[in-house]
Chain A
Amino acid sequence: EADIYQTPRYLVIGTGKKITLECSQTMGHDKMYWYQQDPGMELHLIHYSYGVNSTEKGDLSSESTVSRIRTEHFPLTLESARPSHTSQYLCASSDGTEAFFGQGTRLTVV
């Protein structure tokens, strides 16, 4: 059973608001990832981290930012939400052998 948690599961928010999507894992994994996925579509890597204070942008340009101050925590922040940010956001962590996913956050910006 994977111990990786995302909150909130669902979020509806107005345009221009600042939001933070939380992702935490208790497995001590160094590698963590954020993916964006529209319904029925592929996963796009938007951010990844291979350890504390180490973050990189993924292949899909994103207006979000991330931080990795603690091993177990990898939050994603949108400073000013827009309707184009409406999507599902999936967080994953890996020990280099297997990658586990959280339940996802379904974000709707109105």
Chain B
Amino acid sequence: ELKVEQNPLFLSMQEGKNYTIYCNYSTTSDRLYWYRQDPGKSLESLFVLLSNGAVKQEGRLMASLDTKARLSTLHITAAVHDLSATYFCAVEGRYGGATNKLIFGTGTLLAVQP
């Protein structure tokens, strides 16, 4: 069974600081996604990581993928209040034949304090 774990579950950080959110998954994956969710809203796609060693950056966020370690990271540089949201990683895993399911991690609630 494909399991996706994120840590930390909750992160309170000050503006200007750096931090990393971790996403571990249990089986071989074709691709890994990072999403942002604001309270009461749907999910906004941030990054899609397709191969080992992939690194993508957008503004203060940078995501990387290590398929051998089954680990992805979302690094936040010089946090600002607007980054406050819940961040989810999701893994599309192949098992039981050709069937892919998109399974989400537990989410990390990020609160950036002024």
Q: Which residues of A contact B (CB under 8 A)?
A: 2, 31, 33, 35, 39-43, 45, 48, 50, 56, 58-59, 90, 92, 94, 96-104, 106
Shortest Cβ distance from residue A60 to the other chain B in the assembled complex, whole angstroms: 11
Q: Is the CB of B45 within 8 A of A43?
A: no
Q: Do A48 and B101 touch across chains, with their CB atoms under 8 A apart? A: yes
Q: Are B105 and A42 in touch, CB under 8 angstroms?
A: yes
> Which residues of the partner chain A approach B86 to less than 8 Å between Cβ atoms?
40
Does B88 contact A43, Cβ atoms closer than 8 Å?
yes
Nearest 7 A-B pairs (CB), nearest first? A43-B104, A101-B43, A42-B106, A104-B42, A101-B42, A103-B42, A98-B48
The interface of chain B, by Cβ under 8 A from chain A, is 1, 30-31, 33, 35, 39-45, 48, 50, 86, 88, 90, 92, 99-107, 109
Q: Tell me which residues across on chain A come within 8 A of B102, comparing CB atoms.
A: 31, 33, 45, 48, 92, 94, 99
CB neighbours of A42 from chain B (8 A): 88, 104-107
Closest residue of A by beta carbon distance from B50: A97
Pair count A-B, CB < 8 A: 64
Closest chain A CB from B43 CB (angstroms): 4
Using known A-B contacts A40-B86, A97-B31, determine if residue A45 contacts B42 with beta carbons closer than 8 Å.
no
Q: Are A59 and B100 in contact (CB under 8 A)?
A: no
CB-CB under 8 A from B109, the residues of chain A are 40
Residues in B neighbouring A104, C-beta threshold 8 A: 41-42
Q: Within the assembled complex, what's the spacing in Å between the Cα atoms of A94 and B90?
A: 13
Known A59-B1, A101-B43, A104-B41; further 4 A-B contacts with Cβ < 8 A:
A33-B102, A92-B102, A96-B100, A97-B50
The reply to whether A90 and B43 form a contact with Cβ atoms under 8 Å apart is yes
Chain B residues with Cβ below 8 Å from A43 are 43, 88, 90, 104, 107
